[in-house]
A and B are shown apart, each in its own frame.
Chain A
């Protein structure tokens, strides 16, 4: 079936620490993965993406890791800040597909 799941629904970290949000996907035909951040009252915002022919991609303070062997995706946020508090979604797209399948979401709390 098509499903993308998250291991932890809630994650609480201390300001300045690194955060790791994990995601499992089930469709081995997916060729593109995205992380979104959603703040209260707003739509999801693109953070970073990765294609299936890569296993790591870095952005500003964020890194996405892809392990196709175990169908696992993770988002690492360095030096987490209060402004990072939000719900984070992983999502996947099938090759040539036009729809995005979203995971359940993980709420990140950053403690000052």
Chain B
């Protein structure tokens, strides 16, 4: 079974631009969570989607948004990029809404200049 895939793997953007990151969960998984990882803040929860509905959201500004499609694929968008948005963005999927074991993708490394 293929793992969680994320595209692109690396991205360089300029301050003020917007970016869209994509995540394809493991086949059959319906829950997708997004995390931001930085050296200073560690792994921080962004949001979680299940069956196209956002069920939980972390403490990030409204510039960070996401969505999930009917095939469980998910995208996250960051508008008006700031230098501090430079991070590794990780996506994780799990089998059902109640199962806790998450499988992570390799992440998208975003650099904002």
Contact = CB atoms under 8 A, between A and B. Distances in A.
Interface of A: 32, 34, 36, 41-46, 49, 89, 91, 93, 97-105
Nearest to A6: B42
Interface in B42-57: 42-45, 48, 50, 55-56
Interface residues of B, number: 24
Interface string B64-101: 00000000000000000000000000101000010011
Interface string B98-110: 0011111111000
Interface of B: 4, 31, 33, 35, 42-45, 48, 50, 55-56, 58, 90, 92, 97, 100-107
Given A98-B55, A99-B33, A43 B106 contact: yes
A61 to B, nearest CB: 19
